[in-house]
Structure formats: C-alpha cells, structure tokens
Amino acid sequence: MNYRHIYHAGNFADVLKHAVLARLIVYMQQKDKAFRLLDTHAGIGLYDLSSEEAQKTGEWRDGIGRLLDAELPAPVATILAPYLDAVRSLNPEGEITLYPGSPKLARMLFRPQDRLSAMELHPDDSRRLARLFEGDYQVRVTELDGWLALGAHLPPKEKRGIVLVDPPFELEGEYERIVDGLARAYRRFSTGVYCLWYPIKRGAPIAAFHEALKALEIPKILCAELSVKSDRDLTGLSGTGLIIVNPPFTLKDELHAALPELKRVMAQDRYASHRCFWLRGETTEAERQRD
C-alpha cells in the first residue's frame, strides 16, 4: 500500500467527488430521519496543504485552489455552497491550508442524528483518522479492508445511507472490483445511494467498465465525468469519473449546471471536457432535447 492521499488532496478529482458527496448529504437531510455514510476508503480525514508532500505535487492549486478564487454564477455557487462553505470554514484566515477529506467533510455537514462508518486499511492512516474523531459518538473508524465492508456492513441499521467507494487504483483490476463490490452491496442494500470513484487516463478501460455496470440489474445509474486535459498528457490523471447509483432526482440537473463551470475553472488545456448521463435509467424528454 504505497498510495498516500496527501499528495493529491484537493485536486480536481477531489473537488468533483466532494462537491457531489456534499450534495448527496444535503439531499439525505431533506428528511429528519437519520442516515449513515459508509466511507470504504476513508483516508486520514484532514490534509495539510502546506505540508511538504502536498507542496511537492501542488495538485490542490489547480483544484480547490482555483475554485476558491473563481467567480461563479449564482446558481452554481448555490449548488457548491455546502462543499465550499465547509472548506472555507476550516480556513478562516482566507488562505487555504487545511482541506477536508470525505469523512471530515461529511462530519462537518452532519446533523446530530447522522452517522459515519469509515474504513481505512493503512494502519498509520487509520490511526490518524481515529485520532481525528476521538470521542465523537457519531463516527466509527475501523481499520478494515473497505471491500469487505460492502458486504458485512450493509444495510446500515438506519436503513438510509450513502456508500462512498473511493479506492486508490494502485492495484490491477480495481475497475472490476468496483463492479463486483457494487453488485454485492446492492443485493444487500438496494435503496442505498452509492457514489463510486474512478480515474480517467489514457488506456483506462472506461467503456468496458461502463458496459459492466450497465449489465448489472440496477435501474438507476448516473455517470459524471470531468476531464481537465487531453489524455495524451501522461502526467497524472487526465480526468475523473463518478458513478452514482440511486441519485437524488435533482442531481443530474445540478451536475448539468456545475460541470461546465468546474471545467472552465479547472481546465489545464483546451481539450478539457465533461459529460453527465444515465448509464441506466430514465432520460426525460426535456433532458433528451437539452443534452
């Protein structure tokens, strides 16, 4: 396990993933009933962007760094507000030095009744995450293989929940593992909202991955992708993708509004692009005409 998220925290992929996670949480909170977030690959929760590691790659500068400085149209600012307000509140002096990972962001948005189960396999990272939430009865951190949690930890006892699967993709076969993991999890918890992350770069088997997801008997699967540069540029990722199962009915429209702005703000060359479409599900007549 060589992957350390500190090198990538706050980059364009984190921005899209965390902005969507915040929307999913806000949506869950439209009902008073409690929900649980199962974060299968949780990381350390809080990232110091002034650290040597984060400064070495500087990836956050082209992600959250650009977004915080950007002028956004009012509707998009509203969509991104739960996410950006959380980031800003960690950095009251203005200049950004702290960036919330998925468990910390979620916890910042929680109401008293909401719960987080966070899995992290790396012993050091798991210990750091546990320390971050020490004494917090709303959070349980477990040093565990997140893929196992997709079986044993579902359904949550609240019967309402979001499952975030954000693996490091350092091993072969991670796309297949996501498909298998989703199939297993969905059998146990078909009403859950799932958010699955995947990288986009030259040679990545995206089309086969999408086909495999389509072949699952899951009626509602939304896909959102943002590429910030041409995949001919082989340094780092060219793009980022999210699969959202059982998305809130408003999410596609929100992404339709936000993705062009995220592209505009974080593009690294003129080949930047975005798309958002149903892999499985209803495309309404209005969407068909607009898309």
Binding residues for S-adenosyl-L-methionine: 18, 41, 102, 120, 145-146, 166
> Is residue 147 a contact residue for ligand SAM (CB under 6 A)?
yes
Residues 218-277 within binding reach of ligand SAM (CB under 6 A): none
Q: Indicate which single residue of 59, 62, 114, 125 sits in contact with ligand SAM (rule: CB under 6 A).
A: 125
| Residue environment code for 115-124, b if the CB has 16+ CB neighbours within 10 A, otherwise e | bbbbbbbbee
> Is residue 10 a contact residue for ligand SAM (CB under 6 A)?
no
Residue 114 is among the residues annotated as catalytic for this protein:
no
Measured from the CB atom, the residue of 6 and 72 that comes closer to ligand SAM is: 6
Q: Indicate which single residue of 16, 106, 119, 130 sits in contact with ligand SAM (rule: CB under 6 A).
A: 119
Q: Which of 69, 166, 269, 291 is catalytic?
A: 166
Q: Indicate which single residue of 16, 20, 42, 255 sits in contact with ligand SAM (rule: CB under 6 A).
A: 42
Q: Indicate which single residue of 41, 115, 153, 229 sits in contact with ligand SAM (rule: CB under 6 A).
A: 41
List CB contacts of 158: < 8 A, sequence separation 6 or more: 33, 34, 35, 36, 115
- The whole-angstrom separation of Cα 264 and Cα 165 is 27
**Residue 197 Cβ, how far from ligand SAM at the closest point, in Å?**
7
Tally of CB atoms within 10 A around 79 = 24
- Whose CB is nearest to ligand SAM? 101
Residues 161-200 within binding reach of ligand SAM (CB under 6 A): 166-168
> Is residue 3 a contact residue for ligand SAM (CB under 6 A)?
yes
- The whole-angstrom separation of Cα 183 and Cα 188 is 9
How many residues interact with ligand SAM (rule CB under 6 A)? 20
Q: CA–CA distance from 161 to each of 107, 117, 191, 262, 285 (Å)?
A: 14, 11, 8, 27, 30
Structure tokens, 162: 């979001």
Strand 161-165 relative to strand 36-39, pairing: parallel
Q: CA–CA distance from 218 to each of 156, 221, 227, 269 (Å)?
A: 19, 7, 26, 36
Q: Indicate which single residue of 63, 82, 146, 199 sits in contact with ligand SAM (rule: CB under 6 A).
A: 146
**Residue numbers belonging to the annotated binding site:** 18, 41, 102, 120, 145-146, 166
Identify the H or E element spanning 103: helix 102-109
Strand 193-200 relative to strand 239-245, pairing: antiparallel
Angle 219-225-228 (CA atoms, 0-180°, nearest 5)? 180
> Is residue 153 a contact residue for ligand SAM (CB under 6 A)?
no
Question: 22 with 82: CB under 8 angstroms?
Answer: yes
> Is residue 12 a contact residue for ligand SAM (CB under 6 A)?
no
> Is residue 7 a contact residue for ligand SAM (CB under 6 A)?
no
> Is residue 139 a contact residue for ligand SAM (CB under 6 A)?
no
Select the span of 38-46, 70-78, 154-162, 248-256 touching ligand SAM (CB under 6 A): 38-46
Binding site for ligand SAM (CB under 6 A): 1, 3, 5, 17, 41-43, 101-102, 119-122, 125, 145-147, 166-168
Active-site amino acid positions:
166
